[in-house]
Chain A
Amino acid sequence: MRYIRTAALLGAVALTITACSGSDGGSGGGSGEATGATGPITIWLSNNEQEVVWGQDVVDAWNADHPDEQVTAQEIPAGSSSEEAITAAITAGTAPCLVYNISSAAVPGWVRQGGLVDLTTFDGGADYLTERGGDGVSVYETDGGYYQLPWKSNPVMVMYNKALFAQAGLDPENPGMATFDEFLAGAQQIVDSGAAPSAIWPSPTNDFFQPWFDFYPVYLAETGGTALVEDGKATFDDEAGTAVADFWASIYADGLAPQEEATDDAMVSGQTAMQMAGPWAIASYKDSVDVGFMPVPTSDGREDVTTFADSKNVSMFTSCENQGTAWEFLKYSTSEESDGALLEATGQMPLRQDLAATYPDYFAAHPEYEVFADQAARTGDVPSIPNSIEVWQAFREAYTSAVIFQSTSVDDFLSTAASKIDDLVQG
């Protein structure tokens, strides 16, 4: 006992000593002198298999012409989300030069950390952004700067397994599931017919980004593009929000979606008949499942629905030593040619003006992507707000207990989540 007490005392002393000296010890040096520097750089790509192949091709082509400015690519060393890996890397100063998988939701936090480079500080930076992306890029502005290059989007639609739909007695070419009621009826038919044990399988985990693939696309569709937070206030505590939350709650209550995480790809194993997915899925599933796509449902089954853009952007990090090279490579890898290669390899939609007109051959040769090119014109994204990740996390936790597990009521969820998010946004 004596030793424990001594130990505790000692610990307390150590605490006091170090508490007084506890500071960062970070060394100075902004990004100023680095903007022109050239030399080898490292970039991170997402875990999508086709995207990794595209990235490696672009890097190889660049490296062949730039022996003194070699680029090394690797997949994001992600845990459960790439954001946590990047946040940790910024803190440590071990972030790469460029990351090709930036979600707008995380950008405000990283800007606050001082981790991102404002791309308009490069010569011609602002022009390059607007030239490539058009006027629409202004939604990607943070604190008056552009800390991300809007790169590509994956407009979310409902992907379905045509064979399972046919087996369930649904028309695989035109399932007629545009309204909430039709969708629920169709989903019920899939499960009742025994075609698949579940109709749709969104991930039921509490990750902050999961709403982007269940609640949020449907909410954007239902409201015609209202973001989760607008003008510093949560928007979803209203009729539209209730309708969407009730819709998903019915899916879980009727046993149409599992409450557990899939251990494998549920589409491939036939455990489910539908998933929310973007055009990346066409390339991913081309050898395994015959998939079709339909717009996300709305209460009235309207035409021309809006959906979630699921855009992924490129950011440059302040820890990058050779920012000159990084900027040149960024332009190279988002050129018309590289974007075309990205489209070809992954089917994901580059965020540039006049997509269909720029790559007419591609869309003529791949009619299955046309629905996405069309959908890409009507998308909403995550709002650029303070404490963005915390906001989504708070939303997700409340959603999980009310909608997925029905342990609280939908009305409670909407009102408490809305007031909590209002507090977070106002800081």
Chain B
Amino acid sequence: MRRRRGGAVLRQVLLTLAALVFAFPFYFMVVGAFQESPTNTPDRLVPTSGWTTQNFAQIDARIDLAGSLVNSLVFTAGVLLGTIVLGTLAGYAVARLRYPGRRLTWVLMLLVQMVPFQLLMIPLYVQITRGYGLGDTYLGMILPFAINTTAVFIFAQFFGALPREMFEAARIDGAGELRILRSIALPLVRPALATVVLVTFIGPWNEFLWPFLITKDASLQPLAVSLANYISNVSQTAANPNGAILAGACALAFPVVVLFCVFQRYFRTTDLGSAVKG
């Protein structure tokens, strides 16, 4: 009995320590973003003075924070829309329908997971900008991410787990496939949506390389790209570049963290089982 309690205490200590390690850089980021000069020494980690919002103003003066945020939102919303609408259909088809090419769909889904996106980046860039003329457009930014394969897996997993009897009953009643999808499968999909949204959202929101390549028009660049440009070029000439970098980092991180905290109770680890790539 004693051993078990000892184990529980040990577990709690271990988990707390780990949580501190995970959370500390975020604490540092938030505090530094509102400081005149981010600290480099441990004794000033809990600052009592030197608060300022100047850092946000400074970064906003060089990159359009609000505009970049809107671009990030458009990019992300486009990907979410494509994934939810088309991904649901594909997931449903692959899980519940028997059609020619079902096997092919599965094989492609596996293959897509195995070949890293970055390898395709250069040919894709030429293809999308030259072949389709989509350089400097939202569509060009969205296209390579338009249907998140992980999300298709999650949907397939979800539809596959629905009780077969439901579908059989509907078919016996003479319902067509479209009708079954509309009135039986789709109304039930909500629980999977939270997981899909979370898994899909972070991809485009955090993506740097692709939008960086595809957008040369600064007014179209999402926040991750403008911020990276700021870090690597402009920051060196700013008065408090470190504070400004941390402020930009906060602006980029904040929406995702809020989204997760709000949705985390709908976000079930079991759904993640099929979320292989995230």
* Distance in angstroms between the alpha carbons of A292 and B48 in the assembled complex: 37
Q: Is the CB of A77 within 8 A of B217?
A: yes
Closest residue to A10 on the B side, CB-wise? B107
A-chain residues with CB within 8 Å of residue B126 when the two chains form the complex? 24, 91-92
Residues of B within 8 Å of A88, CB to CB, are: 125, 213, 216
Nearest CB in chain B to that of A75: its residue: B218
Question: Which of A3, A24, A77, A264 makes the CB contact (< 8 A) with B106?
Answer: A3
Contact between chains at B131 and A10 (CB < 8 Å): no
Identify the closest chain B residue to A44 (Cβ): B216
Task: Assess whether B130 is in contact with A91, with CB atoms less than 8 Å apart.
Answer: yes
Whether B110 lies near A79 (C-beta < 8 A) is: no
Q: Is B242 an interface residue (CB 8 A)?
A: yes
**Contact between B110 and A7, CB atoms less than 8 A apart:** yes
CB-based contact B233/A78 at 8 Å: yes
Task: Determine whether A95 belongs to the interface, using a CB cutoff of 8 Å to chain B.
Answer: yes
What residues of B have a CB within 8 angstroms of the CB of A75 in the complex?
218
Report the bound CA distance from A11 to B104 in whole Å.
11
Q: How near does chain A come to B138, taking the closest CB pair, in angstroms?
A: 14
With A24-B126, A92-B135 as known contacts, state yes or no: A264 contacts B229, CB within 8 Å: no
Q: Which residues of B are found within 8 Å of A288, using beta-carbon distances? A: 239
- Residue A49 interfacial (CB < 8 Å): yes
Contact B233 A47 (CB under 8 A): yes
Name the interface residues of B118-135: CB closer than 8 Å to any CB of A: 125-126, 129-131, 133, 135
Of residues B126, B214, B225, B240, which shows the largest number of chain A Cβ atoms within 10 Å of its Cβ?
Answer: B126
B130 contacts A24, C-beta separation under 8 Å: yes
Q: Decide if A25 is an interface residue (CB 8 Å cutoff).
A: yes
When the two chains form the complex, which single residue of A4, A80, A264 contacts B236, counting CB atoms closer than 8 Å? Answer: A264
Chain A interface, number of residues (Cβ within 8 angstroms): 35
17 contacts between A and B (CB under 8 A): A7-B110, A24-B126, A24-B130, A25-B130, A25-B131, A77-B218, A77-B221, A77-B229, A78-B232, A78-B233, A89-B216, A91-B125, A91-B126, A92-B130, A92-B135, A93-B133, A288-B239
In the complex, chain A residues whose CB is within 8 Å of the CB of B228: 79
B85 CB–A CB distance under 8 Å: no
Q: Could you tell me the distance between the alpha carbons of A94 and B110 in the complex, rounded to whole angstroms?
A: 34
Whether B111 contacts A93 by the Cβ 8 Å rule is no
Q: Which residues of B contact A7 (CB under 8 A)?
A: 107-108, 110-111, 114
What residues of B have a CB within 8 angstroms of the CB of A42 in the complex?
217
B206-250 vs A: 1/0 string, CB under 8 Å? 000000111111110100010011001111111111100000000
How long is the Cα–Cα vector from A24 to B241 in the complex, in angstroms?
A: 42
Q: Is A26 an interface residue (CB 8 A)?
A: yes
Tell yes or no: B136 within 8 A of A by CB.
yes
Q: Distance in Å from the Cβ of A198 to the closest Cβ of chain B?
A: 16
A85: interface (CB < 8 Å) = yes
CB distance from A20 to the nearest CB of B (A): 15
* Smallest CB separation, A81 vs chain B (Å): 9
| Complex contacts, A11 vs chain B, CB 8 Å | 111, 115
Besides A74-B218, A79-B229, 17 new A-B residue pairs in contact (Cβ under 8 A), listed by A number: A4-B114, A6-B107, A7-B114, A10-B111, A11-B111, A25-B130, A42-B217, A48-B237, A75-B218, A77-B218, A79-B212, A79-B228, A88-B216, A92-B130, A264-B235, A284-B237, A288-B239
A263 within 8 Å of B (CB atoms): yes
Are B239 and A268 in touch, CB under 8 angstroms? yes
Which of A7, A25, A262 has most chain B Cβ within 10 Å? A7
Is the C-beta of A265 less than 8 angstroms from some C-beta in chain B? yes
CB neighbours (8 Å) of A78 from chain B are 229, 232-233
The CA of A77 and the CA of B107, in the complex, are separated in Å by 39
Which DSSP category, helix, strand, loop or mixed, fits chain B's interface?
A: helix
Residues facing B in A47-92 (CB within 8 A) are 47-49, 74-75, 77-80, 85, 88-89, 91-92
Proximity string of chain A (346-359) to chain B, C-beta cutoff 8 Å, 1 when within and 0 when not? 00000000000000
Is the CB–CB distance between A80 and B232 below 8 Å? yes
CB atoms of A4 and B110 under 8 A apart: yes
Kindly state the separation between the CA atoms of A96 and B217 in the bound complex, as whole angstroms.
Answer: 9
Bound together, the chains give a CA A96 to CA B236 distance in angstroms of 26
Query: Which residue of A has the minimal Cβ distance to B234?
Result: A47
Residues of the B chain whose Cβ atoms lie less than 8 Å from the Cβ of A268: 239
- Say how far A222's CB is from chain B's closest CB, in angstroms: 28
Check B130–A26 contact: CB distance below 8 A.
Answer: yes
B62 to chain A, nearest CB (A): 8
- Which of A26, A74, A79, A85 has the most chain B CB atoms closer than 10 A to its own CB? A79
Do the beta carbons of B108 and A10 come within 8 Å of each other? yes
Cβ of A134 to closest chain B Cβ, rounded Å: 32
Which residues of B sit under 8 angstroms from A89, Cβ to Cβ?
135, 216
A193 to nearest B CB, angstroms? 22
Q: Are A94 and B236 in contact, CB atoms less than 8 angstroms apart?
A: no
| Contact residues of B between 124 and 174, Cβ < 8 Å to A | 125-126, 129-131, 133, 135-136
A257 vs B62: C-alpha distance in the bound complex, in angstroms? Answer: 30
Q: Assess A77 versus B129: contact at CB under 8 Å? Given A263-B242, A265-B238, A265-B241.
A: no
Query: Which residue of B129, B214, B219, B238 is within 8 Å of A74 (Cβ)?
Result: B219
- Closest Cβ of chain A to B250, distance in Å, is 17
Chain A residue with minimal CB distance to B134?
Answer: A92
Chain A residue at smallest Cβ distance from B114: A7
Residues of B within 8 A of A93 (CB): 129-130, 133, 135
In this complex, which of B107, B133, B225 has the most chain A Cβ atoms within 10 angstroms of its Cβ?
B107
10 closest cross-chain pairs (CB), A and B? A92-B129, A94-B135, A92-B135, A7-B111, A264-B241, A74-B218, A89-B216, A25-B131, A7-B107, A47-B233
Q: Which residues of B sit under 8 angstroms from A48, Cβ to Cβ?
A: 237
Task: Tell me, in angstroms, the Cα distance from A300 to B168 when the chains sit together.
Answer: 94
- Using known A-B contacts A7-B111, A7-B114, A74-B219, determine if residue A92 contacts B125 with beta carbons closer than 8 Å: yes
